[in-house]
Each structure stands twice: as structure tokens, then as C-alpha cells.
Amino acid sequence: MKTEHPARDRPLVYLDYQAAKPVDPRVVEAMLPYFTERFANPASLHTMGDEAAEAMESARRTIAAFINARPEEIIFTSGATESNNLALVGYALRNRRKGNHIVISEMEHISIHNLAKYLEKNGFEVSRIPLDLYGRVDPAKVRARIRDDTILVSVGMASNEIGTLQPIREIGELLQGKGIAFHTDAVAAEGLLPLDVERDHLDLMSLSSNDIYGPRGLGVLYVRKGIPLTPLMIGGGQENGLRSGSENVAAIVGMSRAAEIMREEREQEVARLRTLRDRLIEGVLATVPKSFLNGHPSARLANNAHFRFTGIEGESLVLLLRDEGIQAATGSACSSKTLEPSHTLIACGLLHEEAHGSLELTLGRFTRPEDIEAALEAVPRAVRRLRQLSPLYKEEVPS
């Protein structure tokens, strides 16, 4: 997406859709009446309260249909982080009597990793499934880690960093009938893959509104009927007692509109993004020596291009690209201001210095061919420049 700004001398090229997405203007339009006119509290007994409640329940039905769930299985939260908190901590605390063993993968979003550490501190045992070179979780390894006291398995639908897709349906199938709840963080995948909680045998699924071009500050936790959770947010008892706090009706209506648009446009849009993305990957690998694609060559999100360049520091590359107007990332969105190497890349078997040399370019709804062409010009130039500045590179990789 190119955005014009008076303080900028040229439009910026935004290739960081994994970190944040614009709200679709059609979603903003759908939300507007709910800020100023249809603003009532859905708990109120009067006409305007009923209208707010109807708008909210209609949105709940739309979002339920988007993932093949029932409306009463949709819990609105403040975002994907809260959904992950409610899924893991809410389920673990409530089901402790059944066992205290939890399985996650090494690919998970930082919030799942930090929740796992929190649960370990609180007496749970967590097994972490290792990844193959492409960042994939092998379902057989999930099966091997399951024990009698396993209560929960959480594997993300796709990596939010390297874009690798996970075999969610296969994991869901092998967990069937074992009395183990299956959770997936679908945030990285939700705008790109068709979601179906029945097909994948999911019990819990985290969604974010922004990742389908809805407003920030809203998420969903899908909770299969009969899956017991302890609420984490205590108060007025909204959302069936699972999530207190007056509901954010404007954002809920916005997310519902975003789901409708995604449902109509996803297939065509994914094909468009894949073509652009492939042009980007092929162009970079062809023009930059010692460049490599992180993640799986084909089983990856259609919008994800994740490179590493021998002898390059990812942060320096992102800052150099920034000077050229390219908005890019290294590592995961949430920790991109920390300078830790990506845990996912390390889990794929990369050395620290290799993981540090990574560049994540993610495309989205407003990415145009000229954005890709701009990146294809800027990236090789920036890599060349950084390597020229680095005596280390010349020593280590003689041409």
C-alpha cells in the first residue's frame, strides 16, 4: 500500500502486513454509525440497547459462519493475545484435575511461548514439538508426545514469521476421541486460508479482527460447545460469563463486515497475492547472491516472502530499506523492536547469525505490482551496500 504523507517526499511501500493491516475502507464505513448513532450498550433494556444487541448477534452469526461454527461458540475478546490467554490459561486452570501436560510447537507466536512459560511456573508441564528445516510440525511427533495426562495441544495454523503452513487437520484427526482439547492460533492464516473448525476438529481457535482487515482491539475465541474454560476477565458477566466488559459493538460490526468481504474475495485475492509474492521471491533469489528463502517453498502463506542473506544483519537491512521508503520487518512483528533472533528460525535449525540476517516481506490487500518492483530494486541494492561495508562478509564468503 502506498500512503501519501505531507512530510514525506515520496509514497511509502508497505510490505509489513504481518505486523499490522489497514482497516478496509468498507469496514470503516460499516462501523461509523455505531460510533455516533447506534452506540447503545447491548445490555440496556431500551430500543437502542436492543438494536445494539441485534447488531452484535447478527455479527456473531456472520463470524460463526466464516469459520463453520455456531454463534454461541464465538466469544469476543480484545484481540488475539487475549484469545490465546483465554484458550491456554482458561482451559488449563479449569481442567487441571484431568491432567497437567500441555503440548505446543516451537513455531508458535511469542504469546503462546510466553503463556507456556507462565503455565510451567504454575505447575503445568509443557512439551514443545520441534520443527523440520522448513518450520513444519510433524503430526507423528505430536502423537509421540501425547500422554495420559495431556489435556491440551496448541499448534498454530501457520507461522506468523516464515509463513509455513501446519498440518492442522491431520493433528486434529489424530487427537479425535482422546479427550484432549485442540487449540490453534489462526491469526497468521485467517485472511489467506479457508477456516473450518469441523474439518480441522478444533476445540479452540484464536482469531484477530485486524488480520482480516477489521479494526484493532478486537479478537475472537472460538470455543466448541461443551469445552469448559475459566474466565480470565472478571466483571459484569458478558459473553456468557467467559469475558466480562461492555462489548465493543462498533468493532464487532466491523469485524463482521471484514469477514463478509474476506469470504467473498479471499480465493481471488490469494491467487493475486501468490503471483506477486512469487515474482518477489524469484526476483530476489535471482538477483542477490547468497540469498535463501526461509520456510517452506510451497506450503507457505500466499503473502509471505522471508529471506536470509549471508553476512547481513537484518536490522541494518530494514533500516536501509526504510531510507528507500520500503516498510519491512526482520523477525516477528511483536518482538521486532527487541534484537533477539527469531525463535522460529532457530527452531528450524539456523545458526544465530543466519537468523539475524533475515528479512520478512509480507503482502496484503492493497499491495500493487509497483510495490513489488520497488522492493525488487531496493533489496538487492541494500544487500550489496551492506556487504560492501562489511569486511567480515568479504573474508567469510570470498567470491
* Closest distance of CB 25 from a second copy, Å: 6
For position 349 contacting a second copy by CB under 8 A, the verdict is no
Phi, psi for residue 112 in degrees, rounded to 5: -70, -40
Q: Which is nearer to a second copy, 326 or 363 (CB)?
A: 326
Q: What is the DSSP letter of 203?
A: S
Among 47, 268, 298, 399, binds a second copy (CB under 8 A): 47
For position 159 contacting a second copy by CB under 8 A, the verdict is no
- Residue 213 to residue 211: CA distance in whole angstroms: 5
Q: Which is nearer to a second copy, 29 or 282 (CB)?
A: 29
Which residues, 1 to 40, sit near a second copy by CB under 8 A? 3, 5, 8, 12, 14, 16, 19-23, 25, 28, 32, 35-40
C-alpha cell at 209: 479482527
CA distance to 50, 61, 85, per residue, from 165 (Å): 42, 27, 22
Stretch in the footprint of a second copy (CB under 8 A) among 90-98, 143-151, 321-329, 345-353? 321-329
**Beta carbons of 121 and 150 less than 8 angstroms apart:** no
Stretch in the footprint of a second copy (CB under 8 A) among 230-238, 301-309, 345-353, 376-384? 230-238
Which residues, 260 to 319, sit near a second copy by CB under 8 A? 315, 318-319
* Closest distance of CB 263 from a second copy, Å: 21
* Closest distance of CB 115 from a second copy, Å: 5
Catalytic positions are: 334
C-alpha cell at 370: 509497483
Q: What is the DSSP letter of 298?
A: S
How many of the chain's residues bind a second copy (CB under 8 A)?
Answer: 79
Stretch in the footprint of a second copy (CB under 8 A) among 130-138, 173-181, 234-242, 296-304? 234-242
Q: Any idea what the Cα angle at residue 335 is, between residues 334 and 340, rounded to 5°? A: 160
CA distance to 95, 158, 332, 334, per residue, from 101 (Å): 11, 23, 27, 27
* Closest distance of CB 262 from a second copy, Å: 17
Q: Which is nearer to a second copy, 330 or 367 (CB)?
A: 330
For position 326 contacting a second copy by CB under 8 A, the verdict is yes
Question: Scanning the structure block, which residue is given the C-alpha cell 505447575?
Answer: 123
CA distance to 100, 270, 271, 272, 359, per residue, from 365 (Å): 42, 9, 12, 9, 20
- Strand runs labelled E in 171-217: 181-185, 204-208
CA distance to 167, 251, 280, 399, per residue, from 206 (Å): 17, 17, 30, 47
Which residues, 53 to 82, sit near a second copy by CB under 8 A? 78-82
Among 237, 352, 388, 392, binds a second copy (CB under 8 A): 237
* Closest distance of CB 210 from a second copy, Å: 8
Q: Which is nearer to a second copy, 65 or 233 (CB)?
A: 233
Q: Which is nearer to a second copy, 200 or 239 (CB)?
A: 239
CA distance to 26, 44, 222, per residue, from 53 (Å): 22, 9, 19
Q: Which is nearer to a second copy, 66 or 76 (CB)?
A: 76
Among 90, 135, 191, 215, binds a second copy (CB under 8 A): 215
- Residue 335 to residue 180: CA distance in whole angstroms: 31
Which residues, 102 to 131, sit near a second copy by CB under 8 A? 110-111, 114-115, 118
Stretch in the footprint of a second copy (CB under 8 A) among 48-56, 95-103, 166-174, 274-282? 48-56
* Closest distance of CB 368 from a second copy, Å: 16
Q: Which is nearer to a second copy, 87 or 158 (CB)?
A: 87
- Residue 218 to residue 223: CA distance in whole angstroms: 16
CA distance to 26, 66, 189, 277, per residue, from 32 (Å): 10, 23, 27, 34
